[in-house]
Copies of this chain bind each other. A is one copy, B any other.
């Protein structure tokens, strides 16, 4: 996979979880401190763009191994594991943005469906400033089945669902927690919703009536941290 963007390449190198081969950088980017100790092929910005197939490269791209997906069993090990599960999110930028929040709040992992969903593409690596390199992301065949397994492992599963009568700040979020968030337009699929222990909603006071999935996740995840501190 060709990873592009300053933070994405830097964090792929820093995390060291997948091999990084050739690195191409435009003259200015090649001088950044984190690149000086590396073997870099200094090329024009056009060649960087051509190598990575995007204009959003910030002067650097690199040949990296495939994204090292985690095992879905491994993301619920800690007693207070916090995991985000995505349902129907198809935009790699949204996947990336949710991963960035998940990484910042210290989630143990992110779970995504194997099919018909955004994967960890180069765009999903670029968007979240390299967060995916440090985060455990696992693919599962069936989200509802995985949630059932998570419940057997004593996780509480909360689904974000606009319109649920339970406000997001009502539950006690201690222990193993899975937060399921859906796509902007379509929300959670019925089987996934049914697999949740509780559906929670964020208050909506405006007229447009929907948050982007990453901002909704941020609001709920920070509430979870807060509930755990004060709980």
Contact = CB atoms under 8 A, between A and B. Distances in A.
Interface of A: 7, 11, 97, 100-101, 103-106, 128-131, 134-135, 168-169, 184, 202-212, 214-219, 221-223, 225-226
**Copies per assembly:** 2
Contacts of A130: 208
Given A101-B211, A223-B226, 7 more contacts: A103-B207, A104-B205, A104-B209, A129-B210, A134-B206, A214-B215, A223-B223
26 contacts: A97-B212, A97-B215, A100-B208, A100-B211, A101-B211, A101-B215, A103-B208, A105-B203, A105-B205, A128-B208, A129-B210, A130-B208, A134-B208, A135-B206, A168-B222, A202-B222, A203-B222, A203-B225, A211-B218, A212-B214, A214-B214, A214-B215, A215-B218, A216-B218, A219-B219, A223-B226
A134 B223 contact: no
A100 B215 CA distance: 10
Contacts of A209: 104
B169 A226 contact: yes
B101 A208 contact: no
Given A202-B222, A218-B215, A134 B207 contact: yes
Chain B CB within 10 Å, residue with most, of A100, A168, A207, A225: A207
B129 A206 contact: no
Contacts of A207: 103, 134
B208 A104 contact: yes
Chain B CB within 10 Å, residue with most, of A129, A219, A226: A219
Contacts of A128: 208
A167 B206 CA distance: 27
A56 to B, nearest CB: 12
Contacts of A202: 104, 222
Contacts of A203: 105, 222, 225
